[in-house]
Each structure stands twice: as C-alpha cells, then as structure tokens.
C-alpha cells in the first residue's frame, strides 16, 4: 500500500529543522519533535478506535498547532479528521455534527460541544495523551486514496456540504501549490486563515510541511499583528495566504508601507475574486500579490507566475495558469469545451479533486462527472492560457435580456479609493426583470455617497450593468473564509425592498 508521509520523511532527513511555531506563545516543534508528537497521538487513536477505523475525530477550536498534529495523527491512525467551523451558531454546528457523527470532539473550553457527540476533550490537553515513544502500527493507516479529512464548505449558497478528501488529494493539491508559488524548504509561512478551511489547513499549513519548510500558526487574522509579523525580519515570512478582503484591510492601515513587505516571495489571494485595482496597487508598489484559485473540492488549481510581476500586472484580474497536476476546460451546458474568449462553466479534473460529498450521493452525481468537477463558476480563458473567474453561475442575473456578472461590477467599485468592500446582487424589477443592488462599505474615516457610486459605474460600465440602487452599509455578510454570502445578501435586499427601501 502506498504511503507518503512528508513529516516522517523530513524528520529522517532534517530532524532539527523547525516545522511548526505557535505565533502566539512561541512553542515550536522541529520535524523530529513533530513526528514523535504525531506518532504518540496516533497510537492513542488507533488503540482507542482500532486500526483503519474510519471513525470521525472532530475539532471545535480556534487555530492552534494541536489541530495540525491531530490531523496528521488521524492519517496515521486510519481515522477521519473533521474540523468544525467554530464561528457557526450552535444550531448550525449541531447539524454538522449529526452529519459527520464524530466519536469525539477536541474543543476550546469556551465553545459548546453539540449534545449528540459522545465524548469531548479540551484541545489544550491533547498533547498530554498517550505515552512517550508510542507509535501506531503501519497497518493502522487507510489506503492513500481513502478519505482522511472531511471539510465542510463555507456555505455561500446555503447548507454546507462535507467534502471527502484523501491523503492523495491533499498531497497533489499541496504539490500544485508548491510548484506554482516557489515554495522550498527555506520558506516561512504565516497561517492566519482558519484551520477548518482548505486555505488554512492545506495551502497555508500542509504545503510548508510537505515542502520541509516552517509554518507560523496564529490564532487568526488581526491586521495590526499580521502586518507586524509580515514585516518582521526576525520571522522572515516568505509566503502568506489571505482572501482579498484581508489584503484590502492591511493596505488601508494608517501605518502601512509597501516597502515593509517587499521581502515576500508570494502573497497568494484566493477565496473570492480579487479586483484588478487591488493587484495594480500592491504589485505597482512592489508587493507580490498573486491571485490564485482553489476550492475545497479541488485543492489548489491556478496561480500567477511569482517571478514575473510585469506579467502579473498585464494579467491583473485573472487567477492565472493551471498548476502542474490539474486539467481545466471552459464548458458549455453539455460539457463541450468552448474556444478561448467564450464564457462558460469551469470544469476541473486531476488527482487533487475530491471523490464527492459525505452522505450526499445525489449532489455528488450532479457535481462530479467522469472525473471532472463542475465548479459552478462562470469563467473564460484567454489566448495565452490564463483563466479568469467571471462569477458564480448562480450569482449571474439577467437585466433586460443581458447577462450581468456581479464580480465585474464589484471590480469597478473596488477602483474607488473610498470603498473598502462592495458586493452586488440581482433583485427583481418590474421593467427589466432584474437589476443590480450594490452594498458598499466605506473605508474607515472616509465617506462616499450612492450618487458617487452610480456615477463611477456609469463612466466604466454598460448602463445595464450599473446598479439601480446602492446601500451604504458598515458590513457585508461573509463566511469565515472571506466569501460574500450572496444568498444572505439577497434575502436582506428582498426584505428591505418589501419594507419600502430603495
């Protein structure tokens, strides 16, 4: 049976090289220490539940090294790791727990564990379990292609889905990211993204561990602390992953100076479309902001060339070129490949693509066909092979017979220096069928009016794309991974319109 275990490999080759650093309290593990901690915990899990059991082991906790050690231990013990999103409401977490049916949840003491879970254990005591030097039997592992991690999607369109990921999926997804972002054993990653999300768990954490590099794990994103860490020469951070909204927040900090971040090799953006204007701001200032594209179901798929910032500027707004082990096509409704320049649905296939959704065979059959995953994203490829995500197919609306992609309008709004965030949804209209409604969050300390927003759009977009109404607000609803919850925003818009709002 094939076994690929990067931590064990690096523990043998470079035992004293640093692997994980807790950015909050300074705890650190070399690869030898990490390997032993994983073995010790894996022996406990295999002894408790049996080898290759496939039982679900969940977490309900904020970022900490223990979560990473537990995931790796589940792999060696033949269990399935399930990190729950602690930011959800208790009733939402209860639904996930009912679906995954974990045997135990390791949790932060202040977070309530669903009543249906048989056992709970404080995650801070996890490393005290077991005996020093204990090791699981090799046969405890499940096959390389078997499910070892269950990640619930962020729920931008409704009920979250449990994505089944094998170690093979994780290995190839990380391999894609490593090759596309100039990662080496000398790299230093800072992980602010939540470890219950694919960006935090894999792109920002498993990637450096697979490469033999080091990862600093923080409790979460804080603009001031993050900026200080990225700029600290003693830490030497070379790689950072965030959503576009986090980058915009840092850019707007009063003490932000681009020169502080020019030592970065790659600041990868994903999770949501990155406005062209934001790429131009950062890259023009010498900061290597590189838009990419990945999904829970597919791992890392596309990226911009890290050593050609001039080309990044030319292709700003694109998510880049396909990585090493991914095949992509722009398809029509029948699955036929469309020529360059035509919009269609993005389909992906490769060894990083999940086998489907936990307990949802019908949804799996709809989204996975003959090895392809149907992303639900409207996209286009240009003549140079660069892909651009136009929008989610379901977010597109039709106004007066014309297709309107909200991401295009949001990109135009991002050009305004006064705009911190913007989101656009389609709402019913008696004359045009549907029209756009924009929600705009101003930069702190600045003001903007609905008239300014509309005037800016009229100067840059076809009239049918210009929002018919603009709401100046203090926030837009987002998932923990930074994606705008368009279904929540549409419900808000409909409620406001029914109450007589503009």
CA distance 326 to 282: 28
Q: How far apart are CA 305 and CA 406, in angstroms?
A: 27
Q: How far apart are CA 107 and CA 120, in angstroms?
A: 7
443 three-state secondary structure: coil
> Can you name the residues that pair with 349 across neighbouring β-strands?
327
Reported pTM: 0.83
pLDDT for residue 156: 46
Tokens 């996975």 correspond to 368
Helix (H) or strand (E) holding 169: helix 167-180
Q: What is the pLDDT of residue 276?
A: 87
CA angle centred on 332, ends 428 and 405, rounded to 5°: 35
302, 387 Cβ separation under 8 angstroms: yes
Query: Residue-wise pLDDT tens for the chain (502 aa)?
Result: 788 999 999 999 999 999 999 999 999 999 999 999 999 999 999 999 999 999 999 999 999 999 999 999 999 999 999 999 998 888 889 989 999 999 999 999 999 999 989 999 999 999 999 999 999 998 999 999 999 999 998 654 456 799 999 999 999 999 999 999 999 999 999 999 999 999 999 999 999 999 999 999 999 999 999 999 999 999 999 999 998 888 988 998 888 999 989 889 999 998 777 888 899 999 999 999 999 999 999 999 999 998 899 999 999 989 999 999 999 999 998 999 999 999 999 999 999 999 999 999 999 999 999 999 999 888 999 999 999 988 776 787 878 767 787 888 998 898 999 999 999 999 988 878 789 999 999 998 899 999 999 999 998 887 888 999 999 999 999 876 677 888 889 889 888 888 875 6
The pLDDT, as a whole number, for residue 164 is: 98
Return the pLDDT at 405: 78
Residues 6+ apart with CB under 8 A from 251: 278, 281, 282
Structure tokens at 220: 């979460």
According to DSSP, the β-strands at 387-392 and 119-122 are: unpaired
Give the C-alpha separation, 49 to 80, whole Å: 11
Chain centroid to CA 482: 8
10 Å Cβ neighbour count for 6? 17
Sequence length of the chain is 502
Instruction: Return the SS3 of 109.
Output: coil
Q: For position 160, what pLDDT does the model report?
A: 73
Q: Which of 373, 394, 176 is nearest to 292 (CA)?
A: 176
Per-residue pLDDT, 262: 85
Residue 406 has a pLDDT of 87
301-310: b (≥16 Cβ within 10 Å) or e: bbbbbbeebe
């Amino acid at each position: 049976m094939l076994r690929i275990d990067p931590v064990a490999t690096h523990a043998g080759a470079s035992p004293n090289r640093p692997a994980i650093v807790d950015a909050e309290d300074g705890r650190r593990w070399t690869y030898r220490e990490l390997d032993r901690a994983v073995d010790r915990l894996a022996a406990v899990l295999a002894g408790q539940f049996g080898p290759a059991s496939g039982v679900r082991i969940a977490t309900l906790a904020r970022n900490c090294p223990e979560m990473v050690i537990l995931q790796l231990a589940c792999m060696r013990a033949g269990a399935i790791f399930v990190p729950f999103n602690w930011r959800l409401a208790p009733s939402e977490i209860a639904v996930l727990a009912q679906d995954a049916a974990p045997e135990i949840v390791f949790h932060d003491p202040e977070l309530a564990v669903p009543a249906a879970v048989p056992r709970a254990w404080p995650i801070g005591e996890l490393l005290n379990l077991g005996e020093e030097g204990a090791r699981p039997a090799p046969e405890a592992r499940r096959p390389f292609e078997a499910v070892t991690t269950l990640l619930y999607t962020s729920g931008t369109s409704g009920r979250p889905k449990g994505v089944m990921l094998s170690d093979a999926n994780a290995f190839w997804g990380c391999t894609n990211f490593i090759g596309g972002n100039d990662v080496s054993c000398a790299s230093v990653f800072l992980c602010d993204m939540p470890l219950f999300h694919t960006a935090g768990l894999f792109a920002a954490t498993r990637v450096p561990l697979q490469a033999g590099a080091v990862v600093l794990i923080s409790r979460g994103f804080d603009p001031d602390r993050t900026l200080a860490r990225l700029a600290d020469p003693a830490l030497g951070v070379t790689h950072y992953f965030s959503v576009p909204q986090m980058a915009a927040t840092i850019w707007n900090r009063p003490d932000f100076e681009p020169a502080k971040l020019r030592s970065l090799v790659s600041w990868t953006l994903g999770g949501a479309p990155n406005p062209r204007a934001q790429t131009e701001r950062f890259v023009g200032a010498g900061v290597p902001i590189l838009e990419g594209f990945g999904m829970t179901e597919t791992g890392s798929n596309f990226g911009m060339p890290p050593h050609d910032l001039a080309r990044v500027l030319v292709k700003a707004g694109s998510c880049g070129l396909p990585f090493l082990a991914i095949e992509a096509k722009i398809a029509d409704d029948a699955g036929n490949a469309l020529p360059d320049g035509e919009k269609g649905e993005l389909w992906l296939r490769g060894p990083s693509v999940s086998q489907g959704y936990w307990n949802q065979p019908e949804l799996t059959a709809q989204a996975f066909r003959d090895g392809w995953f149907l992303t639900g994203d409207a996209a286009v490829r240009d003549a140079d092979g660069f892909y651009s995500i136009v929008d989610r197919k379901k977010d597109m609306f039709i106004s007066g017979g014309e297709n309107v992609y909200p991401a295009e309008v949001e990109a135009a709004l991002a050009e305004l220096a006064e705009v911190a965030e913007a989101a656009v949804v389609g709402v019913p209209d008696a004359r045009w069928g549907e029209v756009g409604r924009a929600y705009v969050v101003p930069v702190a300390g600045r003001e903007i009016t609905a008239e300014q927003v509309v005037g800016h759009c009229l100067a840059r977009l076809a009239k049918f794309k210009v929002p018919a109404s603009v709401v100046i607000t203090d926030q837009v609803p987002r998932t923990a991974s930074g994606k705008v919850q368009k279904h929540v925003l549409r419900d808000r818009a409909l409620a406001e319109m029914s109450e007589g709002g503009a």
